[in-house]
């Protein structure tokens, strides 16, 4: 545990999600008091064991109601915004969550006199044809306009026990003889471990990241979409045919699947896949990366086998070469 003052309070928006639980754990280990701001505090009880008694508390907050956001930030020394959505549904729209929501949190953090760490995404671009990427960039701009000293983290595709990418395609092998390589599978990713992302956020909370700066977080390996699928198959010991799915067909499938309540693929995600998702040379040169923060990025092979084992033909006891 570091020497972080135990009197310091960190409000974490989106703390009950995939990345959030790892961030909460990293902050609790450092000795911070953590206030988790979520829409449904009654569903965040799984975070309690991550800290000591009374160290982690919950507060109800809805980004659509600025007063609840302000209450969540009241008295906080640092505010962390991890809120984001991968697809739109009901009232959860990219613009409202990732642009307006980010703006509301930044405004509340400024009013509270707190420091702000904001999680965005690689590929954030106001000129993007993807509404996800566009709203992420608009959210960044809003945050920096309100709080120029804010720290922004842009991770590539994140992997970990509850991720939505590797788990989804590994699960697909259980009933499908093929795996789709969207657009030919040539889009490049730099998969980053969720624990490394959480550590980067925690270091920013510690004051060890440059203020008013955008960090780009990627793992040690750059892999194409097709190579990621091959890694999945190798890890779970299954043989499946990887077929190239033309962009036009992927767009059509995304448009149709978008009508489902929990779509495997949306048109907006297809548009997002048309651009590479890797750390820029500029970020590397300026040290605005995991390595620049003193973090040694974790490889996929070090983590994937531990949680994809359930997708093996016979679980952890299965023979690797069994189809």
Domains of the chain: 9-162+190-221+276-297 (3.40.50.720)
| Closest listed residue to residue 216, CA positions, set 301, 109, 293 | 293
Residue 247 token pair? 């962009």
Q: Using one digit for the tens of pLDDT, what is the confidence trace for 105-133? A: 999 999 999 999 999 999 999 999 999 99
Which stretches of 215-275 are DSSP H helices?
Answer: 225-236, 247-257, 267-272
pLDDT computed for residue 7 by the predictor = 77
CA distance 261 to 273: 21
Ranges under pLDDT 50 in the chain = 1-4, 320-323
pLDDT computed for residue 323 by the predictor = 47
pTM over 0.85: yes
Q: Which neighbouring-strand residues pair with 264? A: none
Which helix (H) or strand (E) covers residue 242, if one does? strand 241-245
Token pair 């069994």 is at which residue? 322
Contact 16, 59 (CB under 8 A): no
């Amino acid at each position: 545990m570091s020497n972080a003052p135990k009197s310091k309070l960190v409000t974490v928006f989106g703390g009950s999600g995939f990345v959030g639980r790892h961030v909460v754990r990293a902050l609790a280990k450092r000795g911070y008091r953590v206030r988790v701001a979520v829409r449904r505090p009654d569903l965040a009880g799984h975070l309690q064991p991550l800290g000591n008694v009374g160290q982690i508390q919950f507060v109800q907050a809805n980004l659509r109601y600025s007063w609840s956001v302000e209450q969540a930030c009241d008295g906080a020394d640092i505010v962390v915004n991890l809120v984001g959505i991968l697809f739109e549904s009901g009232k959860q729209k990219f613009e409202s969550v990732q642009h307006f929501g980010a703006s509301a949190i930044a405004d509340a953090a400024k009013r509270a006199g707190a420091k702000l760490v904001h999680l965005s995404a690689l590929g954030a671009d106001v000129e993007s044809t993807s509404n996800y990427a566009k709203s992420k960039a608009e959210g960044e701009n809003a945050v920096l306009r309100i709080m120029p000293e804010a720290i922004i983290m842009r991770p590539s595709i994140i992997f970990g026990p509850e991720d939505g990418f590797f788990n989804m395609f590994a699960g697909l092998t259980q009933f499908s003889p093929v795996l789709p390589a969207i657009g030919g599978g040539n889009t490049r990713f730099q998969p980053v471990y969720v624990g490394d992302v959480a550590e980067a956020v925690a270091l920013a909370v510690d004051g060890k990241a440059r203020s008013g700066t955008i960090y780009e977080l990627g793992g040690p390996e750059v892999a194409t979409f097709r190579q990621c699928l091959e890694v999945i198959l190798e890890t779970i010991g299954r043989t499946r045919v990887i077929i190239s799915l033309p962009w036009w067909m992927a767009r059509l499938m995304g448009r149709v699947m978008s009508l489902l309540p929990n779509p495997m693929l949306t048109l907006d995600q297809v548009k997002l896949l048309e651009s590479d998702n890797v750390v820029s040379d500029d970020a590397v040169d300026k040290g605005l990366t995991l390595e620049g923060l003193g973090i040694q990025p974790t490889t996929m092979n070090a983590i994937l086998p531990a949680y994809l084992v359930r997708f093996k033909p016979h679980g952890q006891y299965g023979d690797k070469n069994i189809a």
